[in-house]
Structure 1
Amino acid sequence: MNKFFNMIPGEDAWCILLYGDIGEYSDVTAAGIARELIEAESSGKRIDVRINSNGGDVYTGIAIFNALRNSKADIHIYVDGIAASMASVIALCGKPVEMSKYARLMLHSVSGGCYGNKTELRRCLEEVEALEDTLCRMYAPKLGIGEDEIRARYFDDTDHWLKADEALSLGFIDGIYDADPVPEDSTPEQVYRIFNNRLEQPLNDNQMNLEEVKKRPRFKDCASDADVFRVMDSLEAEAAKVPSLTEEVEELKKKNKAFEDKAREEDEAAKKKLLDDAQNDGRIDATTRPVYENLLNSDRENGEKALQSLKPKKRVTTDLRVDPGNESPWDRRMNEIKNKLNR
């Protein structure tokens, strides 16, 4: 039997837990509810249905609604955590229905999807609208208002979350009961998890199954509950450092990238200078430059050695250079030849 959905016999009442998603392949199924309802009815005792569900399949929910509504048993419904979407409809079956002071009720439009041509898409839309009409008829008797008003108020493609006092004032529930406290700023999802966790594991005085915790590697040396809590405190302290460490790592990554970009630019400039110098002194030319450039890129050390091993070529412009106020080497040589001939 599913750990979230079972029946608990009691002295005065039998309890059916409707915890989890609603659907034929989910935590709460119509067949499961009907089977347990029949078994509970045979006891002749009151039946308490406790809800903590985000909703689910509409058709499965309608089947559960009808099973509970048509039962001859005295059914009380308690919304422990969340009764959202289809679960809020099922909650109407209680005589009475009560919410814990920390619970949430939610109503919204029917959602669905389909694939096909425009005719098939229209049929899908018509089916969604027909289901909303059905849900309006199911809400109406409890709320005491017309179906059109319900449709306009709650089927407007918006999620309508109600706290216990709001649900009571609007007529969705008949009373509010106390429960173990839940943080005031808890989101609906957090409320859902809190109540599921309370059901899922046995609780000790510290509201935790510490014997299971001690089996984990990090807690293997913990001899007492106090040791467990000391380890948890250290873990919380470490976890608190994570945001600042993450921010520091990101900042270091940015600085490192800046250094890498600068080093890359300087390296490219150095390689360009090596090639420019080699080309200027005649060691390489425009044709051979790409060869040495590729060599520098693939093997910088051997590329530099290869360039250094090349001999510069003497250029005519070097021999013909004339320093200011002096003869060029060419003119000087010509004058020497003329002087020898005139002797």
Structure 2
Amino acid sequence: MADEDRNALSDSRPRFAFILQPEFPMNAFILATEALRIANQNSGQDLFDWLFVSESGQPVRASNGMRIDVHSDLAALPQCDYLILLEGNLPTQNNSPQLLQALRAAHRHGATVIAVDTGAFALARAGLTGERRLVLHWEAMPAYLEHFPDAEIANQLYLLDKQLGFCAGGVGMLDLMLELIGRLRGAALAREVANALIHTPREATRGQRVEGAAVGAVVSMSRRVIALMERHLDFPLSPRLIADKLGISVRTLERYCAREFGQTPTQLYLLVRLQAARNLLFYEEGDIKDIAVACGFSYPAVFTRAFKAQFGQSPRAFRQSFRDAQGRLIRPEIARLSAAKRH
């Protein structure tokens, strides 16, 4: 056994507490808990403890509609070594004072607090992030910057920084857990867990998105074009300015966009802005006119027409459709009573 593996071993049994928020990402939850289970199983020892927590102590609905029972509510949250907040499709709607206080208390008492997917919203509201770099799911980056415009967001799978951690979610959660298992119980066991889950571990700094099937310079340019447009949503750049910032001619930019995206630069930019608006509508509760401005539409009517042409419904109808569904699924007993009263 390598020295670093031997030094990672400890007689203590690390405890992981998973706070499940409404609409939490089930894939990340399963990968995290399965990694711990397999580590215990393959070692023949109870190397790790874990428990599930919700604010009220009641079962929590995941993003895929499944409900998970929990062991504790926030008020009875036991002391833990790792507090992992699993947040998903409702990143700003459920950050109650009780949750923020629990995050602060755990951090103050020495726990490593880890935000998964959109959990960075809650850590920021709790005052824990400060000026640190952070990670969250790429779809939620524009929404996060609307709330915290000075934040430095790293486009990577996960980030561990002293007593704080951030993970983009998805399979990136498994990469984070393998890192923690390696630190706590040795790299050999982490490799066993990865093999059991048929996964090749990735570095923390690996980018979150696959930029198409092409390789080399084409992938690099794809990333640069889209990233530049995403950085300038509120005041869209002209094709000339885009080309200048990329160090190419306007004609080259036009040929590239036509070949790789089947769009003119202006058409591609519109798609990028509309997708960003769709994500903001999904994650945020702000006024639609504010979302329109944030995505470079000076007039809400222009935004509504463009959005409806792209997605088949108005921004208001789009938001209302999934908010109604989420409300029914998160609190089915209220929906049932309400339906009964109407009839």
TM-score grouping bracket, smaller chain normalisation: under 0.3
Q: TM-score, normalised by structure 1?
A: 0.26
Q: Which of structures 1 and 2 has the bigger CA Rg? A: 1
User: Could you state the TM-score of these two structures normalised by the residue count of structure 2?
Assistant: 0.26
Larger RCO: 1 or 2 (CA < 8 Å, sep 6+)? 2
